[in-house]
Amino acid sequence: MLGAIIGDIIGSPYEWHNIKTKEFELFRHRCRFTDDSVMTIAVGEALMEAKRREVLDDEEAVKKLLISSLKKWGLKYPDAGYGRAFFGWLISEDSAPYNSWGNGSAMRVSPAGWMADNIINTRKLARWTAEVTHNHPEGVKGAEAVASAIFLARKGAIKEEIHDYITQEFGYNLDRTCDGIRPGYEFDVSCQGSVPEAIIAFLEGTDFEDVIRNAVSLGGDSDTIAAMAGSIAEAFYVIPNRIAREALKRLPDEMREVLAEWKSR
């Protein structure tokens, strides 16, 4: 989870002020957590609770826990920057999904990439985390793709293997480059218009920090692209202590407690 949260925090000042360069101050005074971090924490807490209750294979039980956790954390931080449709879902008594293809499903999915013991179960958990709100096929695909990349990375797959799996299974074009994407890339909150870019930022990166710089430099929905790229990079690289410490300073105690529990699970 921490890789996603770091990406979110570092990318947050640039979401509406794209910079189109990798040369920027990593932690500006305006860096803060947004909805990406809040929802990642919510998913992580829900999946840990499902594991404690031994219901990780029970779709209905997992989805109930996810809905409860997403709403609980979302209402704790109502000003975190949610999209209009998701915020409407948060405050509604109706918990039905709303057929979204937005990248909210993919930015919060990282816990699923760590919780499952094989790629099939990873994709199943990722699908469930998406479907409680983002049940459009593109929303589900985006979540499954990011979680799959995380699972493969943490299991020791090389980047070529991750590239090939994502391309073959999800049909994303990963043969572009950051330099090719950057000049004309604009704000796009769809999974289909941001998940491939985040994965490319990871594939081109040379270490964790470089992945984050790649992602932010693309522009567009920079905090979410960096959150998705950072979530994969965490599984492939080591997060430098200086970066982790600086990000954790920007989180409230209750979020740090969930991260500590996740780390010790």
The predicted-structure confidence for 187-230, as pLDDT tens digits, reads as follows 999 999 999 999 999 999 999 999 999 999 999 999 999 999 99
pLDDT in tens, 169-182: 999 999 999 999 99
State residue 38's pLDDT score.
98
- For 174-228, give the DSSP string: ----HHHHGGG-----BSTTTHHHHHHHHHH-SSHHHHHHHHHHT-SSHHHHHHH
- Write out pLDDT tens, residues 77-101: 999 999 999 999 999 999 999 999 9
Q: Considering its fold, how many domains does the chain have in total?
A: 1
pLDDT of residue 101: 96
Residue-range definition of the domain harbouring residue 131: 2-264
Instruction: Assign residue 249 the CATH number of its domain.
Output: 1.10.4080.10
CB atoms within 10 A of CB 79: 8
**CA neighbours within 13 Å on the CB side: how many for 90?**
23
Question: Does the pLDDT of residue 16 top 90, yes or no?
Answer: no
pLDDT, average across residues 4-22:
95
What's the chain's average pLDDT?
97
- Say how far apart CA 248 and CA 240 lie, in whole Å: 12
pLDDT number for residue 43: 98
> Among 171, 177, 220, 170, which Cα is nearest to 201's?
177
